[in-house]
Amino acid sequence: MLENVSLAIASPSAIGNPMIRKKVCLLGAYAVGKTSLAARFVHSMFDEKYLTTVGVKIDKKSIQIEDRDLDLIIWDLAGEDEFVRVRTSYFRGAAGYLLVVDGTRPATLEVADALRERIRSAVGPLPHVVLANKSDLVDDWHVADTDLQSLVEDGSKLFRTSAKTGVGVEEAFDALAREMIRSEA
């Protein structure tokens, strides 16, 4: 016979985990490279094959920022389009986010802008950085610098990244983590 087992829903602080846990969301249109950026950051890996994310993929990476241990819980949200709509509930509890655009597809800037508005409406202003990804595809780059600058008019930082080569990826996550710590103070 099976026995019933009691489970407790406990917050990390209740367990006494000294690690600071921060939920960060990766937002952007589909196929901008959010999953690849997470894989590069968490596992230092890159896979050329495109596999669309369904729902959300959650990863974790521990980092140290300014002598503080930080657990980044990375919510890699499915890209939004006419087939998939990002649940606003996914934003709950987020401490910051990375807004990703694809430098080879100008239309991804509009999606990014709309997502930023939605997360603002849902949870208020949060620390965030903007990633112009696929910087390795120089010949296919179609996004003007002025358009990218319009995405960071709110004072956020812009990073040109390549999940394929790793360029700018660590720097972007590091900048977001510092921003989250600063905003906490």
DSSP string, 135-178: TT-GGG----HHHHHHHTTTS-EEEE--TTT-TTHHHHHHHHHH
Q: Is 138 in the site for other proteins (CB under 8 A)?
A: no
**CB 103 within 8 Å of CB 142:** yes
Q: Would you list the DSSP string of 51-73?
A: ----SEEEEEEEEEETTEEEEEE
Asked if 61 interacts with other proteins (CB under 8 A), we say no
Q: Is 46 in the site for other proteins (CB under 8 A)?
A: no
- Kind of pairing, strands 56-65 and 68-77? antiparallel
Nearer to other proteins, 2 or 185 (CB): 2
Q: Which of 19, 87, 125, 154 binds other proteins (CB under 8 A)?
A: 87
Region of 155 (left: φ > 0; alpha: ψ -120 to 50; beta: rest) is left
12 touches other proteins by CB under 8 A = yes
Which of 19, 45, 47, 58 is the binder for other proteins (CB under 8 A)? 58
Q: Which stretch binds other proteins (CB under 8 A): 101-109, 126-134, 154-162, 169-177?
A: 101-109
Q: Which residues bind other proteins (CB under 8 A)?
A: 1-12, 14-15, 23, 30-31, 50-60, 73, 81, 83-84, 87, 89-90, 92-93, 104-105, 107, 139-140, 142
